[in-house]
């Protein structure tokens, strides 16, 4: 264990040495700007937030923001990428930990509920803002990696026979659409109870929608008549 006094001295040394100092300070500042942008974008929206607002709230200069990000849109893109990556990491972790489609679906829903509760700002920014309005070249959020991962999970479930063989988009939206919608209700503040109270029954409902085994319905196997 390093004595506090030495640790402090070391930190001070770091701060004093010009090269490291500038880099460190730069990184800290960059993070503070991103954090502030998330706060303001998710509560007021991208267009209601000016660079000056971010400057004031983050207590940095306009110049620094432009130095690090280039322009407002690029700042939003940097934030968006970071949040999607963080979310994707969470989902990857679920997919590695859980085995079987049901356990993974449950895990994904649980992850979303936890994320929406612990960090509503991130969830709000990823789910609710219309990124294409300010990131015109970005593909829709439903084709981002986290959402592709959910879809993948369902495809594997169909392949293994755990999920009944309906069209993939139907199965994927039936599995997670309800949970996503409930998360939105939570973010809009219209739910009486905390999200966690609904977790188990949402997981059950989602699984009933797509599971193959319980009633083993043969409806979808009936040859459809073209109109």
Partner DNA sequence: GTCTATATGGCGATAGAC
Partner DNA sequence: GTCTATCGCCATATAGAC
Interaction site with a copy of itself (CB under 8 A): 44-48, 128-130, 132-133, 140, 142-143, 166-167, 169-171, 173-182, 184-185, 188-191, 193, 197-198, 201-202, 204-206, 208-210, 214-222
Query: What is the C-alpha to C-alpha distance for residues 25 and 22, in angstroms, rounded to an integer?
Result: 5
SS3 assignment, position 163: strand
Q: With respect to DNA, which residue has the nearer C-beta, 42 or 144?
A: 42
Nearest to 127 by CA among 142, 114, 138: 142
- Taking residues 51 to 90 in sequence order and writing x for each that binds DNA by CB under 7 A, - otherwise, the string is xx-------xxxxx-xxx--xxx-----------------
Q: Exposed e or buried b for every residue in 178-209, given b needs 16+ CB within 10 A? A: bbbebbbebbeeeeeeebeebbeebbeebbeb
Contacted by 222, from DNA, a copy of itself, none: CB < 5 to 8 Å by type = a copy of itself
Q: With respect to a copy of itself, which residue has the nearer C-beta, 70 or 217?
A: 217
**Structure-block tokens of residue 203:** 């997981």
Contacted by 61, from DNA, a copy of itself, none: CB < 5 to 8 Å by type = DNA
Q: With respect to a copy of itself, which residue has the nearer C-beta, 36 or 203?
A: 203
Contacted by 161, from DNA, a copy of itself, none: CB < 5 to 8 Å by type = none
Query: What is the C-alpha to C-alpha distance for residues 142 and 144, in angstroms, rounded to an integer?
Result: 6
């Amino acid at each position: 264990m390093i004595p506090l006094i030495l640790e402090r001295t070391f930190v001070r040394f770091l701060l004093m040495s010009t090269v490291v100092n500038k880099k460190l300070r730069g990184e800290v500042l960059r993070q503070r700007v991103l954090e502030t942008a998330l706060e303001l974008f998710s509560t007021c929206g991208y267009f209601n937030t000016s660079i000056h607002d971010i400057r004031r709230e983050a207590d940095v200069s306009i110049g620094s923001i432009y130095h690090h990000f280039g322009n407002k849109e690029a700042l939003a893109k940097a934030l968006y990428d970071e949040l999607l990556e963080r979310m994707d990491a969470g989902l990857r972790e679920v997919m590695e930990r859980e085995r079987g489609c049901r356990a993974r679906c449950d895990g994904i829903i649980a992850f979303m509920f936890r994320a929406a509760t612990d960090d509503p700002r991130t969830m709000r920014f990823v789910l609710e803002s219309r990124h294409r309005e300010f990131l015109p070249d970005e593909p829709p959020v439903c084709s981002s990696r986290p959402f592709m991962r959910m879809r993948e999970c369902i495809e594997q479930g169909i392949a293994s026979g755990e999920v009944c063989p309906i069209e993939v988009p139907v199965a994927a939206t039936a599995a997670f659409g309800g949970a996503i919608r409930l998360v939105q209700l939570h973010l809009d503040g219209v739910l009486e109870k905390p999200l966690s109270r609904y977790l188990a029954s949402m997981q059950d409902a989602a699984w009933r929608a797509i599971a193959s085994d319980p009633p083993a319905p043969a409806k979808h196997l009936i040859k459809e008549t073209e109109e």
